[in-house]
Each structure stands twice: as C-alpha cells, then as structure tokens.
Amino acid sequence: MNILAIDPATQLGFAYTKGKGIKSGTESFHNNKWDSAGARFLKFRAWLLLLPKPDVVAYESVESHSSTYAAHAYGGYISILQSFCDEHRIEYTGYPVGTIKKAWTGKGSAGKDAMIKAARERGFNPKDDNEADALAIYHLALTELSPSQSD
C-alpha cells in the first residue's frame, strides 16, 4: 500500500512510500512579500501533483488551534488536500493529534522533542517536529490500513 502522510501547515511535514522504503521531509509554503494570500495553497496543490500517486493520504486532524490565523491556514490546506484526493480518487483519513502522539510515543500529550526522539529511535533522522509528526502519521496509517500479515 502506498501511503502519503502529511502534517498540514505552512511548514509541512511529509512521509510517503518510496519503493520498499519511506521518503520523508518538510516543505515550506511560506509566502514572500509579493505573493497573494492564496498563493501558499496554489503552491501546496502544485507540490501534491509532483508526488507519486498514493493509495491513501493520511493527515493530522487538528481540532483546536492556537490562533485564528493557524485555524484559517489549516482549513485551507485541508480543503485543498481533500478536494485533490477526491479529484484523483484517492482515499484519505485524518487522525487526531493525541492518537498520533500516543501511537508513536505511548503518550497522547507528547511534546515535539518526544516525537523527534521516537522517530530517531526508529532509525529516522527528522529535520524537525513536522517531519517527525509525518513519520508518526505514516506509521499509524500503515498499522491501521495495511492488510493483516496473517491473511
């Protein structure tokens, strides 16, 4: 199963199936001073088109934001992501923040450092917490969505 895992934000974390391994990293969708307000979302959509087509997209489903700006940005990324998936007939699922953290660290309230540490313990070297979160989302989706090994 080819999975694309996304920690949606202006500094986005991603992880996806590449061959028999995982490719992960971060991508910046920050606007420069000449960009329109919607340019970050156009950049995000263009970036999605560059990736190998996954069977499923898994993303962090955030229900509480620290600011109105963060809530608006998150909503924009999710609407682009979901409409992109619908257009390309790709399944998608969101996982609550606490569920992702608990699956990765054993603690639903784990902080950024704990998420990075858990990624490193699994053999990854994430650039930041966004990449670590995407790796955790990937792991959770792989665990929940892949067919059982006993079949």
pLDDT above 60: residue 72: yes
pLDDT above 70: residue 68: yes
Report the distance separating Cα 97 and Cα 24, nearest Å. Answer: 19
Domain ranges, ordered by start, for the chain = 3-145
Average pLDDT score over residue span 73-93: 95
Average pLDDT score over residue span 5-25: 94
Report the distance separating Cα 126 and Cα 115, nearest Å. Answer: 10
- Exposed/middle/buried for residue 59 (C-beta within 10 Å: 0-12, 13-18, 19+): buried
Average pLDDT score over residue span 26-52: 94
- Exposed/middle/buried for residue 48 (C-beta within 10 Å: 0-12, 13-18, 19+): buried
CATH 3.30.420.10 fits 3-145, yes or no: yes
Q: Model-level pTM?
A: 0.92
Average pLDDT score over residue span 85-104: 96
pLDDT for position 70: 76
Measured CA angle at 113 (ends 103, 144), to 5 deg? 15
Average pLDDT score over residue span 36-54: 95
pLDDT for position 148: 54
Mean residue pLDDT of the chain comes to 92
Question: What does the pLDDT look like over 111-151, one tens digit per residue?
Answer: 999 999 999 999 999 999 999 999 999 999 999 987 654 44
pLDDT for position 149: 44
